[in-house]
Structure 1
Amino acid sequence: MAQAGSTSKPPMNSIAATLRRGRQAAGLSLTELAHRAGIAKSTLSQLEAGQGNPSLETLWALCTALELPFSRLLDPPRPRVQVIRADEGQAVASAQADYRATLLSACPPGARRDLYRIDAEPGTPHTSAPHAPGVVEHVLLTAGRALVGPADDPVELSPGDYAAYPGDQAHVFEAREPATQAILASEYL
C-alpha cells in the first residue's frame, strides 16, 4: 500500500542504544528478548547495531517486552523552543496499514499535563504571564495560522505544525486567520 506524505527513517542510533541499554538492564540475552517480543534474533541484532527500518509493530513489541514506554525510543533531547512542522518529525510506519506514528513529545516522569482546545480569531493577541517554574506548553495547530511561543520570539505555525516552549515566561498565541484552532497541553513538573 502506498504511503501518503513523507515518511522519514526512524532515528536508528537512538533506537539501537535504547534497546541495548534496556535489554542489558533487564538482564536479557538477545535470544530471550527476541523470543519475548516475537521477533527473529537476527532482527533484534540488526536493530541493536543501528541497522534496518523497523516497523511500528516490531518496535512496540520490543518496548512491551522490555517494559519501556514507546516514546523513549524516539524522544530526542528538547531544545528551549521546539517546532515540528506538519511534514517533519520521526515517523514510524505500520507494516499492516497506511498509518504512521510521529512522536511530538514524551511526558517526562512525574509530570502532569492538562489538555485544551484553543479557538482563536485575529485581533488582539492572547498574552499569558509566566506560569509556575518548569511549565512547558505544547501547541499543535489544527486550523488557520498563528504566532505562538515566547512573547519576545514567537514562531508562526500552520495546520499540522507543533511547537513546545517554556510556559514559565511570558508567551503569546496570536491568530493570523479566522477560525484558528489548536490543541494546547500544559505540562507541569
Structure 2
Amino acid sequence: MATEPAAPLATIAAALRRERERAGISLTELARRAGIAKSTLSQLEAGTGNPSVETLWALGVALDVPFARLVEPPTPAVRVIRAGHGPRIRSEQADFSGTLLSAGPPHVRRDVYLIELEPGAVRTAEAHTPRSVEHVVVAAGRLRVGPEADLVELGPGDYATFPGDAPHRYEALAPGTFAVLVMEHP
C-alpha cells in the first residue's frame, strides 16, 4: 500500500506537475532546462524526493515561476474568516483595530459595493471575466453566498472570498441584510 507524501513534499510535487503541464513541457525537457537529473525530477513529482532550495530555485527559473509558487500550498477556492478571527492589529492612539482579510495582488482592478438584500428571491450571477474574485463582508443580517456547489452562510462580521468567474449566488436569510462586496478583475 503506497503512503501519501508528507504535506510539504505533496505540495511541491503537485506544484511541479501543475506548472510543468501549464508550460507544456516533458519531464525530460524540464530536467534539461533546470540542469537536474530526470530521475530526480521524477522523484520530486512523485513526492518522494528531498529537494534542496537550489534545486527548487532552478526548477522555478526553468518554469518561469516564482519560487513561492512551488512551495506554498494552494489556497482554497472558497475561504471564510468568521467575525472576530483573522490577524487583528490594534491602534495605540485610539479604540481602533484592523483585520487584514485579503492582500490584493498587483495590477488588479477593484470595485467596492455596498449590497442590500431581503429574503425572498435569490440573486444569481453568471460567471464574470476569467480570474475574477469576489470578497464579501456581512454587515447585518445573514447571507448565503458563493458558487452553487460551495455555498456558505455568513453572519455579521463574517468574510468569504470565492471565484467570480463561475456562476454564483447571493441569498438573504434575514431581513435587513447588507454587506460590502469587493470585486477584483485582472
Q: What TM-score, normalized to structure 1?
A: 0.57
Is the CA contact (8 Å cut-off) linking 2:118 and 2:176 kept in structure 1?
Answer: yes
Could you tell me how far 1:77 is from its partner in structure 2? 7.1
Amino acid at match of 2:163: P
- SS of the equivalent of 1:124 reads coil
Gaps of 5+ in 2: 1-72
Are 2:83 and 1:86 aligned?
yes
The alignment's C-alpha RMSD in Å is 1.6
Are 2:153 and 1:151 aligned?
no
Cα distance in 1 between the residues matched to 2:74 and 2:95: 28
Are 2:181 and 1:181 aligned?
no
Whose helix fraction is larger, Structure 1's or Structure 2's? 2
Is the CA contact (8 Å cut-off) linking 2:78 and 2:150 kept in structure 1?
Answer: no
Identity among equivalent positions (%) equals: 54
Cα distance in 1 between the residues matched to 2:147 and 2:94: 39
Pick one of 100, 105, 111 that aligns with 2:102: 105
Gaps of 5+ in 1: 1-75
Cα distance in 2 between the residues matched to 1:123 and 1:129: 19
Q: State how 1:1-189 maps to structure 2 within 5 Å.
A: 78-189=75-186
- SS of the equivalent of 2:86 reads coil
- SS of the equivalent of 1:187 reads strand
Amino acid at match of 1:180: T
4+ residue runs over 4 A deviation: none
Cα distance in 1 between the residues matched to 2:113 and 2:74: 25
Task: Count how many residue pairs are aligned between Structure 1 and Structure 2.
Answer: 114
Could you tell me how far 1:97 is from its partner in structure 2? 2.9
Structure with the greater alpha carbon radius of gyration:
2
